[in-house]
Amino acid sequence: MTTLLAAFQFLTIFPPVVRRAFTPQELGRAVGFFPLVGLAIGGLLLTLDAGLNWFFSPTLSAALILVTWVAVTRGLHLDGFMDSCDGLFGGHTPEARLTIMRDSRIGAFGFAGGALLLLTKFAALLSLENRTAGIMLAPMLGRWGMAAAIVFFPYARQQGLGRDMKDHADRSQAILATITVLVTSWLIARWLGWLSFVLAGLALITWIRFVLARLPGLTGDTYGAACELLELLVLLIFAISFRG
């Protein structure tokens, strides 16, 4: 239970039940529960979506869903995405890129990337053909991507929260995360859910190859960026409309 609570308290604004710092071992074991946190976020957003559509236009409802999505995660992954944009596109050496990514200030690449990401997510939410599948699976697959990246790929820094997770997460966490995703994706969207999982895996590998060509390893910011990119991908998959 402590590791499950660690996952919720780290990834969301979930009220702190455990009022102490989590140990590195607990943070590492929490990685396996990341998709379950995403599933809970998706359930919250879907419930809110059903309620908002009674009172507001689809455009305003989509905007409020997106605001809630960012707020419930404290903007953690969005911040990582913007920092990644600044560092990966703004630096000329691996050391310079890592230094830029540590800077809390936002640069031109981060601002542009964050704005375009939110705009595209908003348009995808507005265009969803299968709202249940899109809203439920996007947060879950995004956090599965984080879990897989933490377990299977090198970390760039010698210290930090990401280092603690990396050092104490093993394949059992990746297996737990993947089983959660496979079962839930099938129950929600059958073959299209599994197709989304496969495409998310390919997108994750593409992102990580891009990062590793510019950095000696991944960072907490690039984990967050992976989550944001996979969320967007899943929303786009379920926004596809086949019209004759």
Residue range 187-215, pLDDT digits in tens? 999 999 999 999 999 999 999 999 999 99
From the number of C-beta atoms within 10 Å of its C-beta (0-12, 13-18, 19+), residue 126 rates as middle
* Residues 154, 167, 12, 194, CA torsion sign: positive
Q: How far apart, in whole angstroms, are the C-alpha atoms of residue 145 and residue 106?
A: 24
Residue 244 has pLDDT above 70, yes or no: no
- Mean pLDDT score of the chain: 92
Residue 60 has pLDDT above 70, yes or no: yes
Grade residue 1 by pLDDT with cuts at 50, 70 and 90. Answer: confident
Query: Under a CB-based contact definition with an 8 Å cutoff, are residues 106 and 86 in contact?
Result: yes
Q: What is the pLDDT of residues 10-57, one digit of tens each?
A: 899 887 777 777 788 888 899 999 999 999 999 999 999 999 989 999
Between helix 171-212 and helix 131-152 the angle, nearest 10°, is 90
Query: Under a CB-based contact definition with an 8 Å cutoff, are residues 142 and 38 in contact?
Result: yes
Q: How far apart, in whole angstroms, are the C-alpha atoms of residue 238 and residue 129?
A: 6
The pLDDT of 138-162, averaged and rounded, is 91
Q: What are the Cα distances from residue 214, in Å, to 87, 102, 110, 206?
A: 9, 15, 17, 13
From the number of C-beta atoms within 10 Å of its C-beta (0-12, 13-18, 19+), residue 70 rates as middle
Q: Is 134 helix (H, G, I), strand (E, B) or coil?
A: helix
What pLDDT shows up at residue 6? 87
Q: How far apart, in whole angstroms, are the C-alpha atoms of residue 95 and residue 100?
A: 9
Q: How far apart, in whole angstroms, are the C-alpha atoms of residue 142 and residue 38?
A: 7
Grade residue 145 by pLDDT with cuts at 50, 70 and 90. Answer: very high
The pLDDT of 120-136, averaged and rounded, is 94
Q: What percent of the chain has pLDDT over 70?
A: 98
Residue 162 has pLDDT above 80, yes or no: no
Give the domain ranges of the chain: 2-14+25-237
Q: Is 1 helix (H, G, I), strand (E, B) or coil?
A: coil
Query: Under a CB-based contact definition with an 8 Å cutoff, are residues 137 and 41 in contact?
Result: no
For residue 215, give both structure tokens: 């950095």
Q: How far apart, in whole angstroms, are the C-alpha atoms of residue 215 and residue 100?
A: 12
Radius of gyration of the chain (CA): 17
